[in-house]
Amino acid sequence: MYRALYRTWRPQTFSDVVGQQHITNTLQNELKANKLAHAYLFTGSRGTGKTSCAKILSKAVNCENLQDGNPCNECEVCRGIDSGAILDVVEIDAASNNGVDNIRDLRDEANYTPVRAKYRVYIIDEVHMLSVGAFNALLKTLEEPPEHVKFVLATTEVHKLPATILSRCQRFDFKRIEPEDIAYQLNKVAEGEGFSVEPEAASLIAKVADGGMRDALSLLDQCAGQSSNVTAELVSSVAGLTGHDHLFALADCIKQNDCARALSIINDLHASSCDMERLCTQLIDHYRNLMIIRSVKDCAGLIVCTAAELKQLEAQAMSYTLEHIMHILAVLEATCANLRKGLNRRVETEMAFVRLCTPSLDSSVDSILKRVGELEKAVRSGIAPAAPQPQTETVQAPTTEPAPQQQAAATLPEGDLGCWPDIIQELKTINAPLASLLFNTYAVVKDGVINICSNNAFLAKNFKNEESRKDLKKAVANVVGFECMMCIKKAAEQPPEPEYSLPEPPPVPQSNDPLADFLGKAKESGIEIKIN
């Protein structure tokens, strides 16, 4: 009978566990020094080796011929545990055995000495599913178990465990396995099973698995069932990474405020039995990718997609501002929450797209701030934003003449470039070191060329780098809407500020008679003094 790859290639020793050396080394050292804890807690995301390490540990503590902290897998005890013939190792699924009575039975059974092995080991998987009463029933036994009992608890949601349980266990956190380690193991499995995996396919599977070896092996199993040579195209097809054209089309509709086309696409998807909640979730993932591209310079390791799809995402991301993407994500998140409340899913989705494609209907604070930000950017750049065109059902024939809006947007107004601070801010997300060199500069537009005025010799030297010029052109295009020619000019020296001095007060006339002077000053102040 055929066994799935993740079962066939389950680790049998600590050395076989992939990507968790910080845990396996500690357990091996404890076994060699015979300093074992009475209770262990293994936490981490799915498919990272928690249950596998628990089973290896149960064999290691009972192995008759321990080898460098690893079970030998050859003695009678190891083979008996693997086959299930030795009943001293008990694996319990807490999802289906989560009541108080189940834990009481376990507690009573733990008092009996093991039949064949040295220790009676209880592996409680998904321990967070236990009820409050079951946790309370387990507390005393978990704190002071009999000498012949070991507990290994495993969970993916450690935050649901009571603090009283956490404090009684030796905790190990399993991290997500690195894509490079997963790809290496996939090549090893493929070689052992007699089929081939292309390097790009192994890397793509590792990204899709999101740090879980079991998910990676399951996907590899599916691909190997279709072809003996696993390619990146086959992985994309099996993993469902292809066929996302409707996501790009809907994103274009939002950007172009094309409500009619968006509703038409939703109607076609609904007619094809597409679940609206799944569509909303896919759109959230799509805009999350756009957000990552706009926020991170090297985003290839943070996005799961093919190389061709990444280029398509990058091109679409450049047509959005980060504020617009964040606003769309907020609307989609709220829509997804409403869909889970059992409302009319199609109507709720259509309402969301009407709001996104018609900004004037969206009265939320995020939408208003986005529109105000676009107006401020237009005022600083001197380029008026395009007015939304009324939508009609009349289909116009395509024309080869450029639109008036495109013609108007092809030039910048002469004089100081008011949007220069916005360009520097945009450049920070693309090339932060170059942006730091532009902080004390200003820009002037002359004959359609942006003259960057600066006396920084290092900036002029850096501007000769083709990659730096490319990044700066990209930042300018993102702000003003089109590419411009640029050059570095020496900034004009500011004239010295004039020195101002207070005028000297006029000299006070002095007389040789002090009494006359005093009477004169008193008379000027309105005081009349008579001397008899």
Provide the pLDDT confidence category of residue 284 given band limits of 50, 70 and 90: very high
Compute the half-sphere exposure of residue 465: CA atoms within 13 Å on the CB side of its CA.
Answer: 10
Residue 495's pLDDT is 46
| CA pair distance 301, 264, nearest whole angstrom | 35
Determine phi and psi for 450, rounding to 5 degrees. -85, 115
| CA pair distance 110, 150, nearest whole angstrom | 9
Say if CB 149 and CB 110 are below 8 A apart: yes
| CA pair distance 37, 142, nearest whole angstrom | 11
Residue 399's pLDDT is 41
CA quadruple 45, 49, 52, 54: dihedral positive or negative?
negative
| CA pair distance 288, 299, nearest whole angstrom | 12
Residue 279's pLDDT is 87
For residues 514, 516, 520, 521, the Cα torsion angle rounded to the nearest 10 degrees is 20
Say if CB 56 and CB 46 are below 8 A apart: no
Provide the pLDDT confidence category of residue 18 given band limits of 50, 70 and 90: very high
Per-range mean pLDDT, top range of 165-174, 294-303, 404-413: 165-174
Which residues are registered as beta bridge partners of 174? 44
Provide the pLDDT confidence category of residue 473 given band limits of 50, 70 and 90: confident
Mean pLDDT across the stretch 66-81?
91
pLDDT at 410 over 90: no
| CA pair distance 81, 55, nearest whole angstrom | 9
Say if CB 69 and CB 103 are below 8 A apart: no
Provide the pLDDT confidence category of residue 282 given band limits of 50, 70 and 90: confident
Provide the pLDDT confidence category of residue 262 given band limits of 50, 70 and 90: very high
Three-state SS at 173: strand
Question: 154, 86, 158, 149: which is closest to 117 by C-alpha?
Answer: 86
Say if CB 219 and CB 239 are below 8 A apart: yes
The pair of structure tokens assigned to 226 is 């279709």
Element (H, E) at 122: strand 120-125
| CA pair distance 478, 482, nearest whole angstrom | 7
Mean pLDDT across the stretch 237-249?
80
Mean pLDDT across the stretch 33-61?
92
Mean pLDDT across the stretch 181-190?
92
> What would you measure as the largest C-alpha separation in the chain, in angstroms?
139
Angle at the Cα of 292 from the Cα atoms of 291 and 295, rounded to 5 degrees = 85
Provide the pLDDT confidence category of residue 157 given band limits of 50, 70 and 90: very high
| CA pair distance 152, 142, nearest whole angstrom | 10
The pair of structure tokens assigned to 112 is 């009996």
| CA pair distance 520, 528, nearest whole angstrom | 9
Question: 162, 161, 164: which is closest to 43 by C-alpha?
Answer: 161
Three-state SS at 334: helix
Helices vs. strands in the chain: H and E counts, helices first: 24, 11
Share of the chain above pLDDT 70, in %: 83
Compute the half-sphere exposure of residue 287: CA atoms within 13 Å on the CB side of its CA.
Answer: 24
Other C-beta atoms lying within 10 Å of the C-beta of residue 382 = 17
Mean pLDDT across the stretch 474-479?
83
pLDDT at 318 over 60: yes
Residue 129's pLDDT is 93
The pair of structure tokens assigned to 308 is 């061709």
Determine phi and psi for 449, rounding to 5 degrees. -105, 135
Residue 382's pLDDT is 56
| Domains, the chain, with CATH or none | 5-174 (3.40.50.300), 179-239 (1.10.8.60), 245-381 (1.20.272.10), 410-489 (3.30.300.180)
pLDDT at 521 over 80: no
Provide the pLDDT confidence category of residue 3 given band limits of 50, 70 and 90: confident
Q: Rounded mean pLDDT of the chain?
A: 82
pLDDT at 505 over 70: no
Element (H, E) at 449: strand 449-453
Mean pLDDT across the stretch 505-524?
64
Residue 63's pLDDT is 92
Digit-coded pLDDT (tens) for 325-382: 998 999 999 998 888 887 688 898 999 999 898 877 766 666 666 667 666 666 655 5
Residue 54's pLDDT is 94
Residue 400's pLDDT is 39
